Structure 1
Amino acid sequence: MAEKGSGNMGNNSSGDAVPGRTEQILCQPCSSKDKQTVADVFCSTCDEFQCMDCSNIHKTYAFMKNHKLVKAKDIKEKPVSFDMKGLDQCDEHQKVLKFFCEDENQLCCSTCAIVDHRKCHSVVEIQKIAGRSAPTRSKLKASLQDIREKAETVVKYTKSSKERLKQDVKEVSLKIRRMRDNVMKMFDDLEVSVAKDAESFKTETLEKLTKKQSDNEKHIADATKSLETIDNVHQNGTPSQQFIMEQSMKKQVDELSSNVDKECQRLKTVTISFDFDETLKLPPLSISDYIPGQLTLKYSVPEAVKPITPVDPIVKLTKVTSIDLKQTGDDAEEPLYSGLDFLPDGRLVTVDNKNKKCLIYNEKLEKVGSYQLSYLPQSVVAVSEEEVAITCGNGYKIDFLRVSKSNKLILIRTCKVKTKYESICMKDERYFVVGTQDDTRPVRIVSLSGEEKDFSINFPNKKYPRDTGGCTYIRNSDKVVLTDRYEHSIYIYDIKNKTRVVVKDDQIKEPRGVAVGPSDCILVCSENTNSIVQISSTGLFLSSYKLEMKYPYRVCVSKNKSIVAVTNSAKSEKKLQYFKVTY
């Protein structure tokens, strides 16, 4: 209930009214400041009696202009508070909140104040400080309005994006149909043009063949007539007549024979056909064998809208440990870690390409195990808690080593393969995903027993020489990630939907090693920007983290996604570093 006072400002209640005395209502905000001022209005939204000066705040803030103000004298009593729907109840004790702890900035019921805040210095009754809430209320409303506006913006552009996406999908079919119509028109025009030329050739050739046929039919008639003459003279003529006939026809027969011989020598069959170029593939072909195009997905932010915090969490890296990689007594050259991966227990396994070694590091980056290889190792992956697989940079095999809890490494088996493999990661419990060297199939699948097969998607017909491409696999979404060093590009292939996303950015220069991080984000070593780039699994550029090392080369993430290991390839400045992952 609002406070009431007599004309001399003394407190009084309606039950204590005295004849001849005027009852006045005091301004609540002023009362909270120990100042007694007569209230002029009552605001039902603020739930307060206010003097004219205090009520002017309604003219200051736009969101308060709709508050309903009535004259204080028209209201005998402050309206009963409306149902707070549990907001004024203590969650722990189910009592009305009557106190506020200013030390801990927390609302309290009577039990909370006594039990939990008895040692606090400033626990006050809410009723006494309620008048201070106007600025807080203003901030809350301003924040909520801002939240609502941002959410409305998201809804607006989401609707727009949905419509655009629907239209784009329709346009894909329309584009193919237009292309089909253009191709059909091209074939129609080709048919008309070729038929015209063929008809012209046919007409000209038929004239020649008809004349040839006519000439030889005349030769047949002449020869037939001469045979009849010979037979008739031979049967009925005198020997003298027969002699004369033979002599006179000899020249005619020789000429006729010569003409027919010439015709026989020039005898040939005339045909006509039309063949397509060998480079043009024609049906019948399965569409999976030959797709004359590529479906590309692209994400872009509307220019009119400032980017809102992305749904994908941005990984923050904090350096924990770093060591310099120096040439030791048993090293032939300065180390180059061309592959690294975490074991499930947190140990790091690496392969030194230059010195043909497999090494084990503990969580403090202390070298605790080493194994001498007979070849140049290229990459390594943890297969299980005590097994790793290593690809051979200059041969056709994958070696499997056992890693004991005491950090001893033993070669347990070798799988022969038909392709040179560089990068390697796990696809699932039975298969690897491997990046190839100098092969038109840049990424392939290899079983743990060495059986090789291809993905059911058309990769670009491009060969990647050693150290120009790296790959990894996102198991949750069945996507293959491929880096192209000299194209400064990252390709994300959706195997299930047979689509591809191309990621390019000014902060991506010569991408090298790649790994899958928290929330299936993609972490890439950007060599010429000396940074780790983070990309979402859908191809959205999220962030870039500058490293204190030159030419980052390889990256891997611990199984619990809490630690990232990075190594580099800078001559005489090689490092191996651990980073803690936060958000």
Structure 2
Amino acid sequence: MAEKGSGNMTINSSGDAVPGRTEQILCQPCSSEDKQTVADVFCSTCDEFQCTKCSKVHNTHAFLRNHKLVNAKKVKTKPVHFDMKGLDQCDEHQEVLKFFCEDENQLCCSTCAIVDHRKCHSVVEIQKITGRSASTSSQLMVKLQEIKVKAEKVIKNTKSTIEQLDQDVKEVSLTIRRMRDNVMKMFDDLEVSVAKDAKSFKTETVDKLTRKQSDNEKHVAEATKSLETTDNVHQNGTSSQQFILEQRMRKQVDELSCNVDKEYQRLETVTVSFDFDETLKLPPLSIADYVPGQLTLKYSVPEAVKPLIPLDPIVKLTMITSIDLKQTGDDVGEPLYTGLDFLPDGRLIAVDNQNEICLIYNEKLEKVGSYQLSYNPLSVVVVSEEEVAITSGAEFQIDFLRVSKSNEITLIRTCKVTTQYDSICMKDQRHFVVGTIDDTRPVRIVSLSGEEKDFSINFPNKKYPIDTSVCTYIRYSDKVVLTDRNEHTVYIYDIKSNTRVVVKDDQIKNPCGVAVGPSDCLLVCSKGTNSIVQISQTGRVLSSYKLDMYYPRSVCVSKDKSVLAVSNSAVGQRSLKTFKITN
């Protein structure tokens, strides 16, 4: 039988000893070519049995001549080696790897050494350099162990991540359910709260209306009785009696007429309605902290007997502090403050367009902090207690900066936008109202994350170049205010009704900055008259305050509506002033 041994050595034998039968060992190179040739020699270096013909290669090549060849019959079997499972075979020639080319760092079989590496200078036998590999094997084992540990950690992490992902997906549904339950509870609380307020209003109003009804029922009874008496006297009484009655009744009728006229002038229809806000604030805020809507208690009177509209309170401005804005050694030009706004704690934020700086002033207008920008800022708005946003127009971006209590300013993030924006103010806690530059949409809405959208207003198809228009927003009446410097006009747009009021007056020349003041009045910088003009939100010009400065440009009002700050653009005479606001 034929038996395969280590190194593909083929041995023909009779199994158990049989007289007259001898063991034959075949040539291994020949066997690899499916030839059965009896081996004559064994090369211990090549670790191979060879026939005479195959062994002649040792005489042909100089680097094989020192191999030791012995008679094959003297070597009964080859030493058994570890089965390398083909790792010790040449991939190209399927021969045992016996050499190593140090020039090309490559393992070689006999054919590779003869054919492919004959020009190489250092082709050595593997057996002669095996001692070198001890440290390498140790390093390989260390590295393989590291690979194994890392791969096991990857597997463990992957399993954990999959488990966590599965848990997170389940948690999403649970979160939504909890949110739904919270929202339902919020609406239940809302229903109770609003119903309570509406019922209280109804009770109070019904009491008042009942008294009014009772009083006028008495007036009707008195008038009816007097009519009957007068008619009876005129029909049956003498002239003297008629005269006496007229004299007696005149005072009574005048008094009754006065009382009825007063009631008639105060005719009113009382309604109760509830309108939801555009954006609902969800829990964890309790219903006591925020009602997601507004209870509207509305009185309306017949058109024919509407009383006069009460006058809006006229504000008075009393100067607190004034400083001159001079060019210093660090400035590239004379300071030009194009944007102002108050922090909740009373500090004033200003942006200097000429010198690319954001500045902080205390209540005494002492500069307490600054931050160097990399662009020409246009406007600034306070977002929260320690955060402001700055527009830059040409940069197509809005920068968000942190202003600490210790007056340190740091850049938080930059929000890229698609439109050039100049003026900016808060619409609500999550959105800005911004004025555009050279765009047919003069006013737009931008969220704090940079999402842009348009108002549902029919704006005129007009573009405003830079420094020709600013905007602001009256939150509680949902109105957008837009100034047109070249047309000497202030526009007030009502979002709900999509209507506008056009304000033109001799006291308004080149209107620039605008801010919302007490009672939601508008305080406008009239550049051409060097004044602050007060306009009601319905469009009536209420007053004009002459400033001791030329060309007022930027204006803002503190959060409690008690202080106004204004800066101007007069070359060589620029200043910053604050005023106390009183009614």
Decide which structure has the larger Cα Rg and report it: 2
With normalisation by structure 2, the TM-score equals 0.48
TM-score (norm: length of structure 1)? 0.48
